[in-house]
């Protein structure tokens, strides 16, 4: 069964499996002890740290292994903020950061700090000038992902790092999605990574704190990992994580070109095969294996379920899944369509034949889901005008139903007439304007209603 969700977790690399099994027999002892078994474990840990430092492009004594990538982010953000508390408590993040960064920001704000979100453009990319504008005298830390986990857009880390360095503010880079493809460029101060994103075992994170960066570890500390990651090191998993990082790096140049061609095939063919679809993310500055698109009139959960039934494992940032009724914060920040969102993230070694088969089955799956929801199969023909304004009551209905009902009635008002859609679904705030843009209709904005929100659309075509 083709697995197309490597951005969530990449399959365990064969080198990682071999290294894990081998080090289970050698790395089980306490690396802090002086007897033979302890020295052997220490040698494995030190070798892994040296190799990780080489891959990242830093000193070995700047590398800390944590229990996960999320823990690396939380530790890095909290430690850097505490280390610069005398400077101030202002934190800068982008609006499309991974949830681990945003959760750290929420915790900082709850404790009395201030947080400023830097917006992104429609392609999901920040600008260095926006970070420069956000910097203040009391800014303690800035955070920026190296590449976006949902749409694959690569961020201008080097330029942002230069701006932050000039202001004397450390920059923490979440490199979870990109570290397997190469080192992060720029004069950054802190960096985090997650082994399961590049084919290592889960439960291993990477935190790099450059020398000279003020850092104060928070919470109970011990003698492990320079006092920055308490607890006994999982040496077999660490060894496997670093071994897989070196392995995927050795394959990166060849695989990057091959996967870029496959994702470009998807980016090109999906709009040709499907109507009412939007491919999102930067078309050029992007990771090799990620491509994301959204389909009008499609329930995201139903779409993923049907793709699973025909043998494809993909993920979604869609607003309409059983676990959430709000749009992905990334898609919301970009201002793009969230309905029927599909993220395809190809693991290394994906055969081209699997991508071709995905493209073969996708149109039928999307059409089938749309038919079940009663979506229009084409632009509804204009009907005799009935009124200057039509009210669509979609209260209590979840996406994509409010948009489907809007599409069905837009032809009943004359050119210049309006449709008022009543909805209490948060996704409507994003998807109705996106529908208007795709359909060349005029979105007039929103206003409070007795229940929910009223979205106003003027018919222009």
Q: For residues 96 and 310, is the Cβ–Cβ distance under 8 A?
A: no
Residues facing 193 on adjacent strands: 206
Q: For residues 182 and 191, is the Cβ–Cβ distance under 8 A?
A: no
CB atoms under 10 Å from CB of 74, counted, come to 22
Buried b (16+ CB within 10 A) or exposed e, 175-184: bbbbbbbebb
- 313: nearest Cα among 304, 321, 322, 301: 304
- 213: nearest Cα among 71, 84, 54: 84
Which of the 8 DSSP states describes residue 61?
G
The rounded distance, in Å, linking the Cα atoms of 34 and 181 is 37
At 398, give phi and psi (nearest 5°): -100, 160
Helices (H), 274-317: 300-309
Q: For residues 296 and 405, is the Cβ–Cβ distance under 8 A?
A: no
Kindly provide the residue ranges of all beta strands, DSSP E only, lying in 113-218, ordered along the sequence.
114-118, 139-145, 171-174, 190-194, 205-209
Q: For residues 109 and 115, is the Cβ–Cβ distance under 8 A?
A: yes
Give 54's contacts (C-beta < 8 A, 6+ positions apart).
none
The one catalytic residue among 58, 143, 295, 320: 320
Calculate ∠ Cα 61-228-180, nearest 5°.
60
In Å, what is the CA distance from 251 to each residue of 55, 181, 265, 411? 13, 9, 21, 54
Token pair for 61: 């004594």
The rounded distance, in Å, linking the Cα atoms of 58 and 184 is 11
Instruction: Identify whether 399 is a catalytic site residue.
Output: no
CB atoms under 10 Å from CB of 110, counted, come to 8
Which residues are part of the catalytic machinery?
Answer: 320
């Amino acid at each position: 069964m083709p697995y197309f969700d490597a951005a969530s977790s990449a399959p365990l690399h064969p080198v990682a499996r071999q290294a894990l099994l081998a080090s289970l027999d050698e790395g089980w002892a306490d690396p802090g002890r002086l007897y033979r078994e302890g020295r052997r474990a220490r040698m494995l840990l030190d070798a892994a740290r040296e190799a990780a430092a080489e891959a990242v492009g830093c000193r070995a004594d700047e590398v800390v292994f944590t229990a996960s990538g999320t823990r690396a982010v939380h530790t890095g953000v909290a430690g850097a903020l505490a280390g610069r508390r005398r400077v101030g408590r202002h934190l800068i993040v982008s609006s499309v950061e991974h949830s681990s960064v945003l959760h750290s920001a929420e915790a900082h704000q709850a404790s009395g700090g201030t947080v400023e979100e830097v917006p992104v453009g429609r392609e999901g990319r920040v600008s260095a000038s926006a970070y420069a504008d956000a910097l203040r005298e009391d800014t303690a830390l800035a955070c920026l992902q190296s590449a976006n986990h949902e749409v694959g857009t690569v961020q201008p880390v080097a330029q942002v790092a230069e701006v932050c360095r000039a202001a004397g503010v450390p920059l923490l880079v979440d490199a979870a999605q990109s570290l397997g493809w190469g080192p992060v460029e720029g004069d950054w101060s802190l960096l985090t990574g997650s082994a399961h994103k590049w084919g290592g075992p889960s439960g291993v994170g990477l935190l790099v704190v450059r020398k000279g960066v003020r850092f104060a570890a928070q919470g109970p500390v011990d003698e492990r990992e320079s006092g920055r990651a308490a607890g006994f090191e999982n040496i077999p998993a660490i060894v496997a994580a670093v071994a897989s990082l070196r392995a995927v790096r050795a394959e990166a140049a060849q695989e990057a070109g091959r996967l870029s061609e496959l994702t470009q095939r998807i980016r090109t063919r999906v709009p040709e095969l499907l109507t009412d679809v939007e491919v999102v993310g930067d078309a050029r500055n992007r990771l090799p294996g990620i491509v994301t698109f959204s389909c009008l009139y499609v329930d995201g959960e139903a779409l993923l379920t049907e793709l699973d039934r025909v043998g494809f494992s993909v993920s979604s940032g869609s607003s309409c899944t059983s676990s959430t009724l709000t749009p992905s914060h990334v898609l919301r920040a970009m201002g793009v369509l969230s309905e029927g969102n599909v993220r395809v993230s190809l693991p290394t070694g994906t055969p081209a034949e699997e991508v071709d088969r995905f493209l073969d089955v996708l149109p039928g799956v999307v059409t089938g889901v749309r038919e079940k929801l009663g979506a229009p199969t084409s632009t509804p023909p204009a009907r005799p005008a009935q009124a200057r304004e039509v009210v669509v009551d979609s209260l209590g209905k979840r996406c994509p139903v409010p948009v489907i009902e809007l599409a069905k009635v837009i032809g009943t008002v004359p050119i210049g007439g309006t449709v008022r859609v009543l909805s209490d679904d948060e996704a409507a705030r994003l998807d109705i304007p996106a529908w208007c843009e795709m359909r060349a209709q005029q979105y007039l904005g929103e206003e409070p209603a007795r229940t929910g929100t009223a979205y106003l659309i003027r018919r222009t075509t």
